[in-house]
Amino acid sequence: MARRSRRAQFQLVSPREQLVSIREGAVSFRCLAAGGGAPLVFFHSFEGLRGWPQLLDRLAGRFTVYAPLHPGAEGSDSVEPPDDPVDLALAYDELLGALGLTSAHLVGHFFGGMVAAELAALCPGRARRLVLLSPMGLWLAEAPLPDMVSLPPAELHPLLWKDPDSPLAKGWSAVPPTEAEQVAALVERVRRLAAMGKFVWPLPDKGLGKRLHRIRAPTLILWGDADRLNPLAYGEAFLRRIKRAELRLLPGGHMFLYESVDATARAVLDFLSAQ
């Protein structure tokens, strides 16, 4: 029998999809899931999920990965939306309960890292282990963050990638082929950014820095070695505030989890599997 390639081992079936409502139907999460094993919840950033990312494929080889869409993003909706990061984290606490998850590994990128950290701080028992991928949620006057919500795509693009001219980076920002698809993509982007941006405008620190000491879960903070959007000083600030944390650099820019999928997956899997 021919030996299967390492990449082939991670080819999974399409993720399952369900709509999970909380608060008597006032908030509904579109949630994707795949894999098997201990539960892991992934919180996406401003760019959404873009389908089922390769990193989640890798993680679903060992864990049951749940990837909810934030309220207002790609099929998640709310009649009475959460109006601050604390309320958003508590909504996710209710979502985990609705999914039947007493606790889970929590993984989040940038905005999603802020959500994961808030949930781990407010509801410490929910987090088995915590992985923060270039998280936001703090503010350093000496290292101000650009406003990702209002920044034009042409100005944002070079801040996201280590090599903005790479095929991956160019493909990410490619314009849909038809006018109808372009309009739909624009509407979705504006809606998603508006829904998520309210939680971090005008400054992203809504008190998270005062709550990080409450995190009990072992924590891995990962950062791209060429992150031009979110300075490494923020990684060091998270490291100082979380008691059981470690900080590691990986090759790539702010989107290192897409640029260096193998290295990111290996770091996350090794950390989550440690005793």
What pLDDT digit, counting tens, does each position of 39-84 carry? 999 999 999 988 899 999 999 999 999 999 999 887 788 766 788 9
* Distance of alpha carbon 27 from alpha carbon 85, whole angstroms: 15
In a domain, 131, yes or no: yes
Residue numbers of the domain that contains 223: 8-273
pLDDT given for residue 14 in this prediction? 82
CATH number, residue 46: 3.40.50.1820
In a domain, 3, yes or no: no
pLDDT given for residue 2 in this prediction? 35
In a domain, 1, yes or no: no
**Torsions phi, psi for 260 (to 5 deg):** -125, 65
In a domain, 24, yes or no: yes
pLDDT given for residue 6 in this prediction? 35
- Give the total number of structural domains in the chain: 1
pLDDT given for residue 79 in this prediction? 60
Q: At what angle do helices 111-122 and 85-98 cross, to 10 degrees?
A: 70
pLDDT given for residue 194 in this prediction? 87
Which residue numbers in the chain have pLDDT < 50? 1-12
What is each CA distance from 103 to 32, 140, 217, in whole angstroms? 18, 32, 11
In a domain, 2, yes or no: no
In a domain, 137, yes or no: yes
> CA neighbours within 13 Å on the CB side: how many for 128?
15
3-state SS string for 4-68: CCCCHHHCCCCCEEEEEEEHHHCEEEEEEEEECCCEEEEECCCCCCCCCCHHHHHHHCCCEEEEE
